[in-house]
Amino acid sequence: MALERDNYTCQKCGSTENLICHHIESINENPIESADLDNVVMLCTICHEEIHSRVGCRRQDLTCENIKINIG
């Protein structure tokens, strides 16, 4: 559903290749909400890695509160 909603496009760079569903709030932090369509965004693998390199969104931070900053 997220692929369709986001038009099979990375929501950061516009790529249509190597897409991955990025959870804004970690699956580990909130497993019930992880299935919520409003908790995910489609990113290509390059943008996904870049997002997870940001402070506040690193994999060890368990959340991605700043995901909406600089998307698009």
* Res 60: pLDDT: 60
* Res 52: pLDDT: 83
- Global pTM exceeds 0.75: no
Ordered per-residue pLDDT tens for the chain, 72 residues: 999 999 999 999 999 999 999 887 777 777 777 778 888 899 999 999 998 887 767 666 555 655 554 554
DSSP 4-52: HHTTTS-TTT---SSEEEEESB-TTT-TTGGG-GGGEEEEEHHHHHHHT
Q: Give the residue extent of every domain in the chain.
A: 2-61
